[in-house]
Structure 1
Amino acid sequence: MAELSFIQPCLWFNDQAREAMEYYVSVFPNSEILSIDEYPDESLDEHFVGMAGKVVNGQFRLNGVDFVCLDGGPDFTFTEAISFVVSCRDQEEIDRYWSQLSHVPESEQCGWCKDRFGLSWQIIPANMGDLIRRPEQIQVMMRQKKIIIAELENA
């Protein structure tokens, strides 16, 4: 088992933790799966029924940020109350992450998107604060789904 960071997010999946880890490390540079521990034989405990081979503890790193995850069943799902911010250097990087992470068009707003696992992301330029200093820039941002830097600069 890899050593845990002092504070790190833990993502609860129904039964897609392994698939999600593989997907996320393919999206972000300098990323890797650190370890995957599977549930033991289901005959050992009533809580393990139907979980054999699923992830009880997965550890992965996305561009220097450590995460843990697990397959915990359908009791809990992701909401927009938690999201991860991806700070992009330019429009090209915004476009790339947006195309890879946005899978729920009705959830797109102001740079927010939702991936195929239901996790929310904010794909924004690193200088977002500078791009929304004036009320007219904020109005433009509020109408955007994916952030278009040029539209904010020209507002």
Structure 2
Amino acid sequence: MSTNFSLPDVSDPMERHPKAPAPGDPFRLHHDLCHGCGVNAPGGLHVTVYAGEGFTTTAEMKVEEWMLGGPGVIHGGVLTAAFDEVLGTTPLIIGVPVVTGHLEVDFLKPIPIGSTLHFEAEVAAKERRKVFVRAVARLDDSDEPVATASAIFIEIDLRKHYAKYYDSASQSRL
């Protein structure tokens, strides 16, 4: 397997952001209709990401019938979207808003419909505007990974990045 994910030789110094949620507390939503975290997103994943210790986060997602891919198991694209949500939220622990630059997922075992996925993620390094994040997903109370992911995110200025799409009357919280 080829990979574009390799940590830099030296990471920029990182500190937990003073406004990051306390361990165990959830991150607030992007907006109510976000496909990944939005509580009002029709057909959304409804993933809630919680701050962990240091540069880590956790999340859970119920694998529902509409997420069906192969018979009885989650669709790989749905799992990838869930990883994107978890991994993309994790850099907020260091106060860095990001967009996805590169994401790779290793599908290790089938994930049955009706199960609950438990994610653990961490910011592994930062190099200028690049933030390197990795995660693992497990089923229910198992210690055995069913999937892993790694990603490189690019730090952005939210207002500049979304300026042409931002509507002050919308629910967006830029």
Q: Mark yes or no: TM-score above 0.5.
A: no
When Rg is computed on C-alpha atoms for both structures, the one with the higher figure is: 1
Q: With the length of structure 2 as denominator, give the TM-score of the two structures.
A: 0.23
More helix by share: 1
- What is the TM-score with the length of structure 1 in the denominator? 0.25
With CA pairs under 8 Å and 6+ residues apart, which has the higher RCO, 1 or 2? Answer: 2
